[in-house]
Amino acid sequence: MLIKTIREKLETFAPLNLAESWDNSGWQIKIDENIDVNKVLLTVSLTSDVLYYAINNDYKFIISHHPIIFPNINKIDDEILINAIKHNIQIYSLHTNLDKVATSKTLAGLLNFHDCFNINDYVVASSILKININDLILKIKQKLNIENFTAYNFNPSKKFYSKVALCAGSGGDFIQEFDDEIDLYISSDIKYHQSLSKPNLTIFDVGHLNSEKPVLKVLKELLQYESLTIDIYNEKFNAKII
């Protein structure tokens, strides 16, 4: 399948004009989009491990969530970019445009929160009927395949919650937009002072990568064609609790 056809499919789903002005969604490395490929590699971030995997397994097109090039770059001295170009690997990213149409909604659906509504472009919320918090904690760990996560303002004696907000990726800056009805927030990259600003809001920080990985399955389903193999790189965040 032509890379151009794949790119057009992506942009129909998550139009580039939805991306923030500071964002660099779209082409990161474009060599020739009129090339046929029979497989595509999906990843949240383009690391050296991802690139070496692509090189060793003969992928010529990588789709990442996070851009590797941002507008303030003034020279190409990045090893990942140089090696990608050397091996004729083209790279395309969907970042804030994808966030606005799918990333948080996908996280919500994975955790069985339906009938969601938008608080803003990045945060969705759902009114729930007394969800049991212990059941939800277990579900988060199972669905995101994690052993633990950080909980702020968590009171173990409070067993039920009524309204949840979710933001895949960095969601700390949005906390001040919440009304008092929201009593549970699932997101990542929460800062200490952000958690203090809403003492009655329980916050589950499930990790940036963990919260965004599910949307790659949405892209995989979007690009399913008989002539195309779509693979998701099993990316892991290199941090441990010690």
Q: How far is CA 142 from CA 36, 39, 112, 229, in A?
A: 38, 29, 13, 27
- For range 5-14, the mean pLDDT: 98
- Residue 101: DSSP 8-state: I
pLDDT for res 222: 96
Whether the predicted pLDDT of 129 surpasses 70: no
Q: What is the pTM of this model?
A: 0.93
- For range 229-242, the mean pLDDT: 80
| Count of H-run helices and E-run strands, the chain | 9, 11
The domains of the chain, with CATH numbers, are 3-97+213-232 (3.40.1390.30), 99-211 (3.40.1390.30)
**Stronger pLDDT, 71 or 178, i.e. the higher one:** 178
Burial class (CB in 10 A: 0-12, 13-18, 19+), 48: exposed
Mean pLDDT in the chain? 93
pLDDT for res 236: 77
**Gap between the Cα atoms of 223 and 119, Å rounded:** 29
Express each pLDDT in 188-232 by its tens digit: 999 999 999 999 999 999 999 999 999 999 999 999 987 899 999
pLDDT for res 215: 98
Whether the predicted pLDDT of 74 surpasses 60: no
pLDDT for res 131: 80
Which residue in 186, 127, 183, 177 sits closest to 159, CA to CA? 183
Whether the predicted pLDDT of 130 surpasses 90: no
Place of tokens 């659906």: 109
> Are residues 53 and 84 in contact, defined by beta-carbon separation less than 8 angstroms?
no
pLDDT for res 21: 93
**Stronger pLDDT, 159 or 18, i.e. the higher one:** 18
Express each pLDDT in 154-173 by its tens digit: 998 988 898 999 999 999 99
Tally of CB atoms within 10 A around 206: 23
Whether the predicted pLDDT of 242 surpasses 60: no
> Are residues 116 and 125 in contact, defined by beta-carbon separation less than 8 angstroms?
yes
Alpha-helical (H) ranges within 102-225 are: 104-110, 133-144, 192-196, 208-212, 214-222
**pLDDT more than 90, % of the chain:** 83
Which residue in 80, 35, 25 sits closest to 61, CA to CA? 35
pLDDT for res 73: 64
> Are residues 20 and 121 in contact, defined by beta-carbon separation less than 8 angstroms?
no
